Chains A and B, each alone.
Chain A
Amino acid sequence: MVCIVLGMSIGHTLLGLLESGPRHGYDLKRAFDERFGHDRPLHYGQVYSTMSRLLKNGLVEVDGMEAGGGPERKRYAITEAGVSDVDQWLAQPEKPEPYLQSTLYTKVVLALLTDRSAADLLDTQRAEHLRLMRILTDRKRRGDLADQLICDHALFHLEADLRWLELTAARLTQLSTEVRA
């Protein structure tokens, strides 16, 4: 399984993983990495800070403790409040966030303002987008249905970015006039 999920809520994901039964922090990390973290495995620190926050908010409870103490010895179980939190998260649509455009727009405008080639910048970005799209297309070809669906989601988003890059490239002259006005 590949991880293309950007900006994913780690807390909700760990809670969701706990629904199948109590686990130690280490087990949670391993389950997360196996399913979602192929490209970006979690740090232990992230797991323990997330779990202590969930504990504080009453979404998990400590189900048992191995001898020796320390955070890695705690076994966590999801609470009823935790389950309804996961319900809510799954039912809520994600905000369609134009996260990349804002960065690229800033770069294009800065390039125009500083007499650098915005067209080259856009070409470089297009090549980079296509490079990733090739990797995803190849993964999709070799993967199972789950890989195909995850890769497709990323591919459609990258394609949307590319269309924005094309449109911006076609409007550079106009944009240049406006930002320099």
Chain B
Amino acid sequence: MTPAGSLLTAQDLHKTYGPTPALDGAFFSIHPGEIVAVMGPSGSGKSTLLHCLAGIVRPDSGTITYDGRELSSMPDAERSSLRRSDFGFVFQFGQLVPELTCVENVALPLRLNGVKRKEAERRAAEWMERLEVDDLGSKRPGEVSGGQGQRVAVARSLVTSPRVLFADEPTGALDSLNGERVMELFTQAARSANAAIVLVTHEARVAAYSDREIVVRDGKSRDLEFTV
């Protein structure tokens, strides 16, 4: 039943917050290096699906398989370690640590994984160059524009060479031109690193950077890969 060759799949996920069902039979799959947009109206369950897929939230029922391992029944410590080693995250707001410089922010996931400062910052600088923000290394997040800050956040999500990137409305706070530049550089960098992207967005222009889309409506999503 699971689509052949997929890296991450979710089957029949259900998740309820209080009386409200957030997911009510959600299916999803993504292949290595693939970019899949998760679309749907506000409150349809897009973000809950992303949180379940990333192992941040445990579904009430259903299965999530990552690289042959069952994520939904994995102990918390193991899931946390997997998130640090294999996953990267880009959100809409407030993801950079304001007290650290931009290069320290980008290097942070490596430092948390035990990489020495000098080496971590060298690798961080490489990713910042790819995202065209290499001149902002010594600035703090409060001193850069929204678009620049988002590119710093994208560089940080890629610095550990993750296999899956989770992006929740990554351009939601940006104007068209900046949003477009972020998507351009983000998808280009992810493709060159063969990282897959789960891209939650309600904007069609952002979804157009993906390879295919999955629509979530009232907590339900169909993935045509499951029926092939």
In chain B, positions 190-211 with a C-beta closer than 8 Å to chain A are 203-205, 207-210
Let me know if B135 is at the binding interface, CB within 8 A.
no
Given known contacts A141-B184, A166-B41, A170-B41, is B215 in contact with A133 (CB within 8 Å)?
no
Asked if B12 is at the interface (CB within 8 A of a chain A CB), the reply is: no
C-beta contact mask, B13-48 vs A, less than 8 Å → 1, else 0?
Answer: 000000000000000000000000000010000000
Among B41, B203, B210, B215, the residue within 8 A (CB) of A126 is B215
**Dominant SS among interface residues on chain A:** helix
- Contact-residue bracket for chain B: 10 to 19
Q: Establish whether residues A130 and B207, one from each chain, have CB atoms under 8 Å apart when the complex forms.
A: yes
Q: How far is the CB of A151 from chain B (nearest CB, A)?
A: 10
B203 proximity list for chain A (CB < 8 A): 159
Inter-subunit contact B184/A159 (CB<8 Å): no
A 141-181 binary contact with B (CB < 8 Å = 1; else 0): 10000000000000110110011001001100000000000
Task: Decide yes or no whether B132 CB sits under 8 A from chain A.
Answer: no
Q: How many A-B residue pairs have CB under 8 A?
A: 32
Q: A129-B204, A166-B41 are in contact. Are A123 and B209 (CB under 8 A)?
A: no
- Whole-angstrom distance between the alpha carbons of A129 and B207 in the complex? 11
Contact A134 B215 (CB under 8 A): no
Residues of chain A within 8 A (CB-CB) of B204 are: 129-130, 133, 158-159, 162-163
Please tell me if A137 contacts chain B, counting CB pairs below 8 Å. yes
Interface membership of chain A positions 102-143, coded 1 if the CB is closer than 8 angstroms to chain B and 0 otherwise: 000000000000000000000100110110011011000100
Chain B contacts for A156, CB-based, 8 A: 205
Task: Pick the contact of A133: B184, B208, B217 (CB < 8 A).
Answer: B208
Taking CB atoms, residues of chain A closer than 8 Å to B210 are 134
* Complex CA–CA separation, A134 to B210 (angstroms): 8
Q: Which chain A residues lie closer than 8 Å to B213 at the CB level?
A: 127, 130
Q: Are A155 and B205 in contact (CB under 8 A)?
A: yes
- Looking across the interface, which residue of chain B has its beta carbon closest to that of A155? B205
- The distance in angstroms between the C-alpha atoms of A141 and B209, with both chains bound, is 10
A78–B74 Cα distance when bound, in Å, is 76
**Interface, chain A (partner B; CB < 8 A):** 123, 126-127, 129-130, 133-134, 136-137, 141, 155-156, 158-159, 162-163, 166, 169-170
Interface residues of B, Cβ cutoff 8 Å to A: 41, 184, 203-205, 207-210, 213, 215, 217
